Structure formats: structure tokens, C-alpha cells
Amino acid sequence: MTVNAHNELPIGVFDSGVGGLTVLDAIRQSLPNEHLVYLGDTARLPYGTKSPASIERYATQAAAGLFEQGIKLLVVACNTASAVALDALREQMAPMPVIGVVEPGATAAVAAHAGGRHLVLATEATVRLGAYRQAGEALDPAAEVREAACEMLVALAEEGWSSGDIAAAIVRRYLDESNGFKPHTIILGCTHFPLLRDTIADVAGSGVLLVDSASTTAAVVRTTLEGNDMRRRADGSGTLRLFATDGATRFARVGGRFLGRTLTYQDIELVDL
Ligand code: DGL
């Protein structure tokens, strides 16, 4: 393939479900002329409660599914898959650049509050590996990072119940479990959680800054494409294809909110990995 034809290929983005659309949207805004393909592995969601071996298997199969579509760069828009399987994915896809979301999320938090206290809300698997604590403390040794597993927030986001009394009560319960730890920032360490941003901000109260990895990941994607001379040359808007492994109607219902437009099941292509 010539360099130009390769540059025309889409950026591949995957998550276990709709959550990674928060990252996709940030990439779309930052790089509007790039083609994008998104895969939500909805048949096997949630990843966050699974064993590392299963998560790695699912993530490598999702990456292979996107590779078959022809992509030039892979974004692992799932903190759980980034925490567990980034090295395996980089090995599998080499020499294609593979970008995860944990390091960009930690970078955003320490940039927002140097030497601060950071509370990470994430899935069980991400917390078990201490992925954010390690990334945050490596970037800023003075930072204090606590991690809280908030698995039920994934279900709320997938269900589209991101506001109201039920969502607020569940968020409050998780924040209460951090036992008096008073964070400067709350890191939304799961790509599903930006959907609950307003509810989490209300419950956390003023003075706590909410940080997610969407815009910092989009910035890393841009720098990587530019640094490797991989930007699409054409000016016209990029296309978007959406794939899911199950539940096209549900994916369309919830996913449309992230993308700010109405989707129907016909916009979602079902694939088997
Ligand atoms: N959105 C995923 C993450 O960022 C995980 C949700 C799940 O499948 O548990 O961790």
C-alpha cells in the first residue's frame, strides 16, 4: 500500500460497549477529516468484572476484528482493556501504533492538580491492577492516588440511567466508601463514566474537579499521527462506521446520546469476533 493509501485508512477505536464513544467523539472533534471505525464488544460486556486472561482474550479478538476492517492506528478506548492488555495489543498489532487511555487520563489529572489527591473511579479489574495509581505516581511522585471500583456505574451508563435519584444514590454510596479521603480531582477511570459526569459532580460537590481521558487521548492520537506522517490528506469530513457484537437497537439508543445524533439499529453493523 502506498503511503497515501495507508493514510486514508480509518482510525480503529474499541471498548466493551458504548463508553468508548466518549473517546471517539473527542477524536472526531480534534481530527474531523479522519475516517473512524468503532467496535463495541457488547456481547461480552462488562469486561471490568472478568479475569485478566478473559479480558486479554476479548481485547485481542476485538483488535483483530478492527484490523480486518483495515485501520492505521488502534485506540483502546477502554480503561480495563488498557490496564490489562495494552502490552499484548501492542505486540499483536506492531508496527501499528496502539494508544490506551490510562496514561492520558493520569496525565490530565496530574496536570490539573500537581501534588494533589486523586480519587479514581474505575472497574474492578482496573483497580485490582492499580493501573492509575502507578501511572499517576510515576508522572507526579507527590500525588496521592486512591482507586475505587464502581462496577454498577457501568450498568447505569449502558442503561442510559445517568441522572436522577437512583444514579445519585449509587454514586453517593461509592463516594462514601472512600472513607473521608478528600480528593482534589476525581478521575473518571472508565470510559463509561463521563456519561454520569453531572451526577458525579453534583454528589462530589464544588471544589472537586472531574477529569477524564477523552480529550487527552485525542491529543495523543493527533500527535502520534502527525509524528508518523499518518494524517489523512483530504479535507472532507471523515466517515464513521459503528460495529457491535450484540444488541444493535440498544447500542443505537444509548450511543446516539454520545454522538449527539439519533442512531437507529440500521446504523450499527453486527459482527462476530
Ligand atoms: N468502559 C470500560 C472501561 O473503560 C469498561 C466497562 C466494562 O466493560 O466493565 O474500563
The predicted-structure confidence for 68-93, as pLDDT tens digits, reads as follows 999 999 999 999 999 999 999 999 99
CA 230/CA 99 separation, integer angstroms = 14
CATH numeric code, 3-100+216-270: 3.40.50.1860
Locate the ligand 1 atom nearest the alpha carbon of residue 154 and give its number: 6
What's the rounded Cα separation, in Å, for the pair 127 and 189?
9
Residue 72 and residue 96 in contact, taking contact as beta carbons nearer than 8 Å: yes
What is the distance in A from the centroid of ligand 1 to the CA of 245?
Answer: 15
3-100+216-270 with 102-213: one CATH topology?
Answer: yes
Model confidence at 174, pLDDT cuts 50, 70, 90, reads very high
52 upstream amide cis, omega within 30 of 0? no
Does residue 78 carry a catalytic annotation?
A: yes
Residue 259 has a pLDDT of: 83
Tell me the CA–centroid distance for residue 21 and ligand 1, in Å. 12
**What's the pTM?**
0.93
Residues 6 or more apart in contact with residue 162 via CB below 8 angstroms: 156, 195, 196, 198, 199
Residue identified by cell 444493535 is: 248
Q: Residue 270: beta bridge partners?
A: 244
- Ligand 1 atom at minimal distance to the Cα of residue 78: 4
Amino acid identity for residue 189 in this structure: G
Q: Is 190 an active-site residue?
A: yes
**78, 127, 200, 268: which is the annotated catalytic residue?**
78
Domain boundary assignment for the chain: 3-100+216-270, 102-213
Give 180: exposed, middle or buried? Use CB within 10 Å, 0-12, 13-18, 19+. exposed
Count of alpha carbons within 13 angstroms of residue 253, beta-carbon side: 9
Is CATH 3.30.950.10 what the domain over 102-213 is classified as, yes or no?
Answer: no
Residue 27 is placed in which grid cell?
Answer: 477524536
pLDDT tens-digit series, residues 176-204: 987 788 999 999 999 989 989 999 999 99
**Ligand 1 centroid vs 49 CA: distance in angstroms?**
9
The model's pLDDT over 230-257, given as tens digits with 9 standing for 90+, comes to 999 888 899 999 999 999 999 998 888 8
Q: Tell me the pLDDT tens digit for each residue of 118-163.
A: 999 999 999 999 999 999 999 999 999 999 999 999 999 888 898 9
Q: Return the residue whose CA atom lies nearest to atom 2 of ligand 1.
A: 78
